[in-house]
């Protein structure tokens, strides 16, 4: 366990077992919403990378289940809202809609 609560170790989920990196509870929702954003924005645009958790921009079912739980357990907070605004206004000119509208996660059946 790191000083900020992240962990590396064995894990098991329906669809995967092995070594995992687990984000601190404080950031789990933030990470989940980042994955949902990337999966949506880059749908069909990535030619690489299949890992245990993703196949290009598609999140594998076991990982999607974990990320949905993280999204639910760690709601959007003021720090995440401020980061989204800064990314929009100072860097990218776009926003993560799952921060602005967290309810949209439940309206999408498959990332």
Q: What is the per-residue pLDDT for 43?
A: 92
Distance from C-alpha of 38 to C-alpha of 14, rounded to nearest angstrom: 23
The DSSP call for residue 36 is H
Q: How confident is the model at residue 11 (pLDDT cuts 50, 70, 90)?
A: confident
SS3 track for 44-97 = CCCCCCECCCEECCEECHHHHHHHHHHHHHCCCCHHHHHHHHHHHHHHHCCCCH
Q: How confident is the model at residue 4 (pLDDT cuts 50, 70, 90)?
A: confident
- Tokens 């921009």 correspond to what residue? 57
**Average pLDDT score over the chain:** 94
C-alpha distances in Å from residue 85, one per residue of 3, 45, 75, 80, 109: 28, 25, 17, 9, 27
Residue 84 has pLDDT above 90, yes or no: yes
Q: What is the per-residue pLDDT for 2?
A: 84
Digit-coded pLDDT (tens) for 24-64: 999 999 999 999 999 999 998 988 888 889 999 999 999 99
The rounded percent of the chain whose pLDDT value lies above 70 is 100
Of residues 67 and 51, the one with the higher pLDDT is: 67
Q: What is the per-residue pLDDT for 12?
A: 84
Q: Stretch 11-28: mean pLDDT, rounded?
A: 90
């Amino acid at each position: 366990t790191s000083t900020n609560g992240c962990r590396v170790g064995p894990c098991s989920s329906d669809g995967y077992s092995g070594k995992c990196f687990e984000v601190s509870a404080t950031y789990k929702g933030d990470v989940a919403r980042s994955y949902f954003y990337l999966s949506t924005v880059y749908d069909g645009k990535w030619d690489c990378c299949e890992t245990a958790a993703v196949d290009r921009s598609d999140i594998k079912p076991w990982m999607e289940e974990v990320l949905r739980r993280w999204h639910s357990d760690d709601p959007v907070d003021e720090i995440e809202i401020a980061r989204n605004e800064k990314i929009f206004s100072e860097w990218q000119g776009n926003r993560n809609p799952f921060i602005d509208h967290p309810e949209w996660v439940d309206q999408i059946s498959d990332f």
